[in-house]
A and B are shown apart, each in its own frame.
Chain A
Amino acid sequence: LANLNNSNPAIFNSTNQQEAYGYIYSQNGSTTAFRSDGPNFINLNEGGTALIPGPATFNGWTAVGIWHTHPFSTTNPTGIDLNTGTHFSPSDENLTNSTGLTMYVGVTDTTSSPIDTNPQTRWYSYTGGTTDTLMGNVGNGGC
């Protein structure tokens, strides 16, 4: 996400219905050795649906997570989905709940109400349940 934010910051303020995504893999179940792929880019149609391929196969590596981006929305600047109450859409949460993959999303958002004037590009994680976790600002480490 940090590399993406440096190379293609517009993806976080996309108006062309595009999202970036990739998978995160662990080496032989390691909790310290990870690799990721992407960024891949996909356009959602007017109905808001896009199928993405499942994780790739790397010998010795197992998919443990998936990351993607949401665009900044002037009409919903907190980026919180009213349906889930988190920064993740129902399909995002469904993917995690179906596969066990931890979901990460990078989004430019505001966090205060009423709307503040200093949106930040942040990343959040979802592992199940009804809440998500703010991981930090994109580029400030850990991603």
Chain B
Amino acid sequence: MKLLGTLIMVVSYCGLYPANVANAGQAVPSLCGSAVDFAAISNALVTANSNETYESLAHTTLQLTQASQGIRVSSSSHADVLIPKLSVAASVCRNRATDAVLTNATTVPGLDIASFAAVTTFRKTNPWPLTPAPIEQASTAVQFRTIGRYLFVIVSAAPSAQSTFSLSCGAVEYYRVDPQTFDVRPFDGCVEAHKHAPGLPGLGGLPN
């Protein structure tokens, strides 16, 4: 009887799985940094928000070097640009699983910057339907994750912006970026129990 119950439970759970498992897989963490720093790099390199611009940037690796007036960003495909010193708000990534923090990085994948530019362009006309992350603040973190063939861009408010005794999705925005077409799909990645905002699917609800 116990075995039958277990079988029923497994079958029941199996029935819950979405047919689309394109997003399945463990997230591979990569870079994390302040939103204003990514914006500075993006604004300096992305002169036109077009797929051609994103693609050319996506195939480069950016070198960051200290300069007397700021940080020099150089690559094989773009002229060198100078951006302000990176934010000292390294604490924005303190509790984030990541393999590199931007303030310590000497190289940055061009794909990350291209994806960030695609996301910031997208969110200008498609406001985050829940509490948005204050992307203009240095304390706001931007993280990149890879799952399968997609790049995920997560923009999150500083923890201090959240009440201490809360079970909350906070001000966190989740985007999936197709690295070939730069199609941006927002989704609700919060693990707390809550109702998704209309038109905001969960991770597995995104189309292939």
Residues of A within 8 A of B (CB): 14, 16-19, 21, 42, 44-54, 68-95, 97-99, 107, 113-115, 117-119, 128-131
Contact residue among A52, A83, A85, A113 (Cβ-Cβ distance under 8 Å from B166) = A52
The reply to whether the CB of B194 lies closer than 8 angstroms to some CB of chain A is: yes
24 sample A-B contacts, Cβ–Cβ < 8 Å, listed by A number: A14-B193, A44-B169, A48-B170, A51-B163, A69-B193, A70-B191, A72-B16, A75-B18, A75-B203, A76-B202, A78-B26, A79-B191, A80-B191, A81-B191, A83-B154, A86-B97, A90-B95, A90-B172, A91-B162, A91-B192, A118-B13, A128-B95, A129-B95, A130-B96
Given contacts A42-B167, A82-B154, A117-B13, A70 and B145 within 8 Å (CB-CB): no
B interface residues, how many (CB within 8 angstroms)? 49
> Smallest distance from the beta carbon of B150 to chain A beta carbons, Å?
11
Contact residue among A79, A82, A92 (Cβ-Cβ distance under 8 Å from B167) = A92
The reply to whether the CB of B109 lies closer than 8 angstroms to some CB of chain A is: no
> Smallest distance from the beta carbon of A37 to chain B beta carbons, Å?
14
Q: Which 5 A-B pairs have CB atoms at the shortest separation, nearest pair first?
A: A85-B97, A75-B202, A48-B169, A75-B204, A48-B194
Contact residues in B for A95 (Cβ distance below 8 Å): 164-166
The reply to whether the CB of B189 lies closer than 8 angstroms to some CB of chain A is: yes
> Smallest distance from the beta carbon of A133 to chain B beta carbons, Å?
14
> Smallest distance from the beta carbon of A124 to chain B beta carbons, Å?
11
The reply to whether the CB of B130 lies closer than 8 angstroms to some CB of chain A is: yes
The reply to whether the CB of B88 lies closer than 8 angstroms to some CB of chain A is: no
Please state if A50 and B166 are interface contacts (CB–CB under 8 Å). yes
Given contacts A91-B168, A117-B14, A130 and B95 within 8 Å (CB-CB): yes
Contact residues in B for A54 (Cβ distance below 8 Å): 165
Please state if B194 and A118 are interface contacts (CB–CB under 8 Å). no
Interface string of B159-194 (1 = CB under 8 A from A): 110111111111010100000000000000111111
* Docked complex Cα distance between A71 and B190 (Å): 11
Closest A-chain residue to B93, C-beta based?
A: A130
Contact residues in B for A52 (Cβ distance below 8 Å): 165-167
Task: Please name 11 further chain A to chain B contacts, defined as beta carbons within 8 Å, in addition to the given A46-B195, A83-B156, sorted by A numbering.
Answer: A17-B194, A48-B194, A51-B163, A70-B192, A75-B18, A75-B201, A77-B17, A83-B96, A83-B154, A113-B26, A115-B21
> Smallest distance from the beta carbon of B149 to chain A beta carbons, Å?
14
The reply to whether the CB of B67 lies closer than 8 angstroms to some CB of chain A is: no
* Docked complex Cα distance between A92 and B130 (Å): 19
Main secondary structure of the interface of A (DSSP, over half): loop
Given contacts A75-B205, A91-B169, A45 and B194 within 8 Å (CB-CB): yes
Contact residues in A for B25 (Cβ distance below 8 Å): 113-114
Contact residues in B for A86 (Cβ distance below 8 Å): 97
Please state if A81 and B95 are interface contacts (CB–CB under 8 Å). no
Given contacts A113-B26, A115-B21, A130-B96, A76 and B192 within 8 Å (CB-CB): no
Contact residues in A for B170 (Cβ distance below 8 Å): 48-49, 89-91, 94
Chain B residues numbered 109-161 whose CB sits less than 8 Å from any CB in chain A: 130-131, 143, 145, 152, 154, 156, 159-160
